[in-house]
Amino acid sequence: MKKITTRPRTRGAVAIGADLMLAPLVMAMRLPLMAADAQNGRGLGSETARAITEKTTAVAEGAFAAQMALFQSAARFWPEVLSGRTPSLFNGTAAVNSVNAALKPTSRAVKANFRRLSSKG
């Protein structure tokens, strides 16, 4: 029987996907808190402000991480060509690394929110 091996990159993508699966639960736990904030009539409540700040931060971190991953792939272009390998910019590895890097901050934020909100309930 052939042994199935997983690469570290695949395990990382699976972990990110598992963390992002918690997003609907986080939204469901956060909505009552945001509704309570809205009923106070003070405008932007603490949970709403926190949600906006966390999402903005995660988007900025993800965009920066994706750009850095693409920059690293571009920096490795000529060494890969000169060593006889297909450059990662051409074989899709750079795109996969960039997407994983972009989703990692969002994944981290969702997991942290799930832990924080589940302990409140």
For residue 95, give Cα distances in angstroms to 73, 79, 84.
9, 18, 20
Mean pLDDT of 94-109: 92
pLDDT of residue 121 exceeding 70, the answer is: no
DSSP letters spanning 1-28? -PPP---HHHHHHHHHHHHHTTHHHHHH
Mean pLDDT of 95-117: 92
pLDDT of residue 71 exceeding 90, the answer is: yes
| Chain segment 7-64, per-residue pLDDT in tens | 666 777 888 888 889 889 998 998 888 888 888 877 788 888 888 899 899 999 999 9
DSSP letters spanning 20-87? HTTHHHHHHHHHHHHHHHHHTTSSS-HHHHHHHHHHHHHHHHHHHHHHHHHHHHHHTHHHHHHTTPPP
- pTM assigned to the model: 0.77
Q: What's the pLDDT score for residue 104?
A: 93
Q: What's the pLDDT score for residue 14?
A: 86
Q: What's the pLDDT score for residue 101?
A: 93
Q: Domains of the chain: which residue ranges?
A: 18-38+45-120
